[in-house]
Amino acid sequence: MAQPFRLSRGGRVDRTRPIVFAFNGKPVHGYAGDTVASALLANGIHLVGRSFKYHRPRGILSHGPDEPSALLSVDRGPGRIDPNNRASVVEARSGLRTTSQNHWPSLEFDVGAVNDLLSPVFVAGFYYKTFMWPRKFWDRVYEPFIRAAAGLGKAPTQADPDRYANRHAHCDVLVVGAGPAGLAAALAAARTGKRVILADEGAEPGGSLLHDTTSQIDGRPAADWLTETLAELDGRENVILLPRTTAFGYYNHNHVAMTERVTDHLTSAAGQAPRERLWQVRAGEVVLAGGAHERPLVFADNDRPGILLAESLRVFLNRYGVAPGRKLVFATSGASAYRAALDARAAGLDVTLVDLRLESDCGPELAQLRGAGVEVLTGHTVVGSKGRKRVTGLIVAPVGSDGRCGGRRILPCDCVGMSGGWTPAVHLFSQSRGKLRYDDAIDAFVPSISAQAERSAGAARGIYDLAACLTDGFAAGAAAAGSDERQAFKATETLTGFQPVRIMPTDANPTKVRAFVDYQNDVTAKDIKLAVREGFQSIEHVKRYTTTGMATDQGKTSNMNALGIVAGQLDKALPAVGTTTFRPPYTPVTFGALVGPARHALFDPIRTTPIHEWAEAHGALFENVALWRRAWYFPKAGEDLHAAVARECKAVRENVGIFDASTLGKIEIVGRDAAEFMNRLYINPWTKLAPGRCRYGLMLKEDGYILDDGVVARVSDECFHVTTTTGGAARVLGHMEDYLQTEWPELEVFLTSTTEQWAVIALQGPKARDVIAPLVDGIDLSPEAFPHMAMRTGMICGVPTRLFRVSFTGELGFEINVPSDHARAVWEAVFEAGQAHGITPYGTETMHVLRAEKGYIIVGQETDGTVTPDDVGMAGMIPKAKKDFVGKRSLARPDVVASGRKQLVGLMTDDPKLVLDEGAQIVADTNQPIPMRMLGHVTSSYWSANCGRSIALALVEGGRERMNGHLHVTTPDGFTRVTVCEPVFFDVQGERINA
């Protein structure tokens, strides 16, 4: 319980509730309210990781979401391991196991640190320059090496056992950030009665007020104002206050995505609470009050553990009651670090402050700090640091206005707080497509022109004074809520004097100095200068070449320093260089939150037919077809796919098979102009089709390529029963609606999807009629009265039916359409009646083989969106007299009428036992040089038990002119010879279908 660096008092941690968690296997003690970072620091642990590229020892830089270095793997139990968590935002609690990353064998001794010695080699663009020659090294040598070196942390290997929720919300005003400006904005908006959501990424709302122990607001301590304000907001029914909620994406039309971390901070998750909740908020107005990020100073070895941002050091002192060191040096070019130094001094620590600014450029903060007995060295630069796994000293030197350094001096210390000024967090504003403006006075980009109903407030737009932030926030909140109310706040003055600095002046050889700009990706000032020297001028190019700003922190601490260095090298003004693009997410988001409940059974809807459970009970295996589960085949004991399908195929041709065709798309087309509508959409003629008759219909897109097919029955003069492919149902209905609504609104036609209403029992085989004869009422089943391609209405098993005499097998066949609710009963009755005739249930695989034996195409298998009716031998269906239909004009396009198009043919292998691979390529001559000229591909290929050999369909260039010729098809063992044939393998005369 030692916590040697915990101050004896102060901070917002709960000292009555001790906690203990593990860091690299050792217990770390802290208090409720600590982050992992603050608890580590309370125990004097600064070394928490190794850097990405050079494996340099790294510590905790920041207290918040901008932390680039202190990235830990957090283990919350089996399946709950998460890499790359920022120690500064993970709430410490008992039971957590945290480990440092990117080292071997240990954090203390890391072999990879040799990279640091080799750093002259690993310059900007190292990969681009190194892994180029020889070509044969790309796959075997370079790629494995790069893959091994890439990535930080270890991805979890187990499935995530946690639950994630997804919530949509609407509000009048969304306030992002609950610091002074955000709180004031929420207060103003809430008082108008409008619906307000206030989201803050921290565990506790308050922002900078949580560590401001000295300021007064309207005559009382800032902490008291915070308590009162939160109480007021909490008490209002029109306010939703969301702590631990990060707004990470600002999308179109004020759609803001946020993640709420619900249970990670709890030792035991409460009941069924989700781990995280994704909020998708549609806000009338948005107030962005996300504050600002502090910039590090760029000097040699500025990355040693123990070197923190000055304000973060202040946060650890005041909010967590932790002294990150006992002998502190602050290095700054502005006033804000003086406040941190004063607070450190007040905590009884040994403090020195180094300010780059000349004495005359400093404000009242100088006298204030000196008055507190602190040594302040003005006009001093930092030229380096001492130490390795922990800073032991800061090397400083006086610097004149000419930039020349005087004699060096080492300031011994165990902790450094640095401040290079502030960068407003404009991430969400930029994501909303707002335009930034460079503000010279604060050396930062600030929001300028809004693209959406949004406004920024406080430090997020470069206002740093506390009273000004509160007043600005209140005005923004009121305006967002449509109110003219304004309130002027009084608060302790915040000193904000600041002198921008890019790289700290140094007396060292700049080519030897390693001053880090991007801590997470190990990019130094030298790398950025090199990139510019090598010709990269666009900041977007420099970013990608050097990888600065491309790590998971997206350069929150590094971007402005990098921009400044590029501008300096190019001798351009900063706004002329511009910024890189800000993209979501603002901070990393778990996949779980994005996926939400859409896992397993909820990933996609699963559609099943009324026969599904019967098929399950009869041992069917299923395959996915679009969202449907379809019975694939019905194996008997000991049968594999091939044995079962061979048996099913023979049973259909010899006796009778029963097949569930309920997934076929069905559309009822009714209305005065139904036939005319059909004429316009299909290549076929419909006017003269008599009620009670069916026709195979083929539908094209306007480009002339096959869209879908299916049998259509004319129920009456003004009613068609259309069927579509299983996967094409929605697409076809959409296609029809599009034309009906937008091209031919004058047609009186109504389209209704009836896919789910009609179940379809296909009965196929020579004995099909015998099976249903005793079950059907009111329909004459004789071949004369009920020929192939007819449809009759009547009753079956006492249930109304549309009975189709159609066949997708080439056999005598019926498709019994019955209302879905009755389908299971009818199916069972038919199956029972079929027992005497050897009825066999069959699945989609047998259906595929049987139709291929007959050369019937499947849209999407024989066609691929570039296939015309003529390509599959169906041009004859188009009546010469038909003037127009969708796609007709395109059939006269030059490329469609050109010779040499791929045409549907059959293929027979020399070896009748060899079943070709579907998709296999076809060539004419195997001796031609590579790359060979490919003539087409195999579209369907099966073993046909009925033919006693393999069969295949293929699309082959000029196929119909190659009849009986030989071609060669690729197989895993080389080419095999095939003979081109008509695409029909069984009952070539087509007599069986009319039985």
**If you count them, how many residues does the chain have?**
995
Is 82 near another protein (CB under 8 A)? no
Considering the complex, state which of residue 254 and residue 559 has its C-beta at the smaller distance from another protein.
Answer: 254
**Which of 66, 285, 553, 870 lies at the binding interface for another protein (CB under 8 A)?**
285
Residue 472 CA: distances (Å) to CA of 442, 475, 792, 952, 977: 17, 5, 77, 75, 81
Between 251 and 696, CB nearer to another protein: 251
433-472 positions binding another protein, by CB under 8 A? 433, 435, 449-453
Encoded one letter per residue, x for contact with another protein by CB under 8 A and - for no contact, window 235-274 reads ----------------xxxxx-------------------
Among the listed residues 143, 613, 743, 828, the single contact to another protein using CB under 8 A: 743
Report if residue 402 touches another protein, rule: CB under 8 A. Answer: no
| Cα(743)–Cα(935) distance, integer angstroms | 39
Minimum CB–partner distance for residue 601 and another protein (Å): 21
H or E segment to which residue 631 belongs: strand 628-633
30 neighbors 3 (Cβ within 8 angstroms):
yes
Q: Does 903 bind another protein (CB under 8 A)?
A: no
Rounded Cα distance, 189 and 191, in Å? 5
| Beta carbon nearer to another protein, 453 or 789 | 453
Residue for token digits 């082959």? 956
Which range touches another protein (CB under 8 A), out of 226-234, 588-596, 736-744, 964-972? 736-744
Is 484 or 884 the residue whose CB approaches another protein more closely?
Answer: 884
Give helix then strand counts, H and E, for the chain. 25, 50
Question: What residues numbered 787-806 form the site for another protein, per CB under 8 A?
Answer: none
Q: Does 127 bind another protein (CB under 8 A)?
A: no
Q: Least distance in Å: CB of 883 to another protein?
A: 7
Helix, strand or coil, per DSSP, at residue 196: strand
Closer Cβ to another protein, 586 or 943, answer by number: 586
Shortest spacing between CB 441 and another protein, in angstroms: 22
Amino acid at 956: V
- Residue 884 touches another protein, criterion: CB under 8 A: yes
The residue type at 276 = E
Please, which residue, 148 or 898, has the CB nearer to another protein?
A: 898
Cβ closer to another protein: 435 or 977?
435
Strands 949-957 and 936-944: antiparallel
Q: In the window 684-703, what residues touch another protein (CB under 8 A)?
A: 702-703
Question: Could you tell me which of 692, 10, 750, 638 has the C-alpha nearest to residue 321?
Answer: 10
What is the Cα 207 distance to its own chain's centre?
A: 30
Residue 135 near another protein by CB under 8 A: no
**H helix or E strand, kind and range, residue 817:** strand 813-819
Residue 265: CB atoms within 10 Å: 15
- Give the residue with the Cβ less far from another protein, 892 or 930: 892
Residue of 734, 787, 865, 990 that binds another protein (CB under 8 A): 734
Shortest separation between residue 485's beta carbon and another protein, angstroms: 18
Peptide bond into 585 cis (omega under 30): yes
Q: Which two tokens stand for residue 227?
A: 């308590």
Q: Assess contact for 285 and 297: CB atoms under 8 A.
A: no
Query: Smallest distance from the beta carbon of 760 to another protein, in angstroms?
Result: 25
Q: Shortest distance, CB of residue 252 to another protein, whole angstroms?
A: 5
Strands 454-456 and 516-518: unpaired
Side chain identity at 646, as an amino acid letter? Answer: A
Residues in Cβ contact with 115 at an 8 Å cutoff, skipping those fewer than 6 apart:
53, 54, 55, 122
- Candidate list 741, 782, 928, 994; residue touching another protein; CB under 8 A: 741
How many residues belong to the site for another protein (CB under 8 A)?
Answer: 32
**Does the protein bind another protein through residue 605 (CB under 8 A)?**
no
Nearer Cβ to another protein (370/893): 893
Instruction: Please give the structure tokens belonging to residue 585.
Output: 């997410």
Using the contact rule CB under 8 A, the part of the chain among 597-605, 687-695, 739-747, 832-840 near another protein is 739-747
Nearer to another protein, 392 or 890 (CB): 890
For the chain, the straight-line distance linking the first and the last C-alpha, in angstroms and rounded, comes to: 92
Ramachandran bin of 177, using left for φ above 0, alpha for ψ from -120 to 50, beta for the remaining angles: left
Q: Name the 3-class secondary structure at 850.
A: helix
- Minimum Å gap between C-beta 451 and another protein is 6
Our CB check for another protein shows the closer of 252 and 989 to be 252
Closest CB to another protein among residues 154, 435: 435
Whichever of 136 and 253 has its CB closer to another protein, that residue is: 253
Neighbours of 540 (CB within 10 A): 12
Q: Which amino acid is at 423?
A: T
Q: What is the dihedral of CA 863, 865, 871, 875, to 10 degrees?
A: 100
Q: Are strands 454-456 and 196-199 parallel, antiparallel or unpaired?
A: unpaired
Residue 964 within binding range of another protein, rule CB under 8 A? no
Compute the least distance from the CB of residue 437 to another protein, in Å. Answer: 13
Please tell me whether residue 889 binds another protein under the rule CB under 8 A: yes
Token pair for 85: 């968590």
The reply on whether position 738 binds another protein by CB under 8 A is yes
Residue closer to another protein by CB (options 550, 730) is 730
Stretch that binds another protein, among 347-355, 716-724, 735-743, 791-799 (CB under 8 A): 735-743
Q: State how far the Cα of 766 lies from the Cα of 743, in Å rounded to an integer.
A: 46
* CA nearest to 519, candidates 296, 325, 294, 337: 296
254/609 with CB nearer another protein: 254
| Residue 284: both structure tokens together | 């009338």
Residue 219 engages another protein in binding (rule: CB under 8 A): no
Residue in the block written with tokens 């029109």: 238
- Residue from 119, 192, 890, 979 touching another protein (CB under 8 A): that is 890
CB contact burial 595-607 (16+ within 10 A = b; e otherwise): ebeeeeeeeeeeb
Q: State the DSSP code for 883.
A: -
Contact with another protein (CB under 8 A) among 617, 892, 898, 930: 892
Q: What's the distance, CA 208 to chain centroid?
A: 33
Q: Tell which one of 605, 883, 927, 930 touches another protein (CB under 8 A).
A: 883
Least Cβ distance, residue 481 to another protein (angstroms): 13
Chain positions contacting another protein, by CB under 8 A = 251-255, 280, 282, 285, 433, 435, 449-453, 702-703, 734, 737-738, 741-743, 745, 883-884, 888-890, 892-894
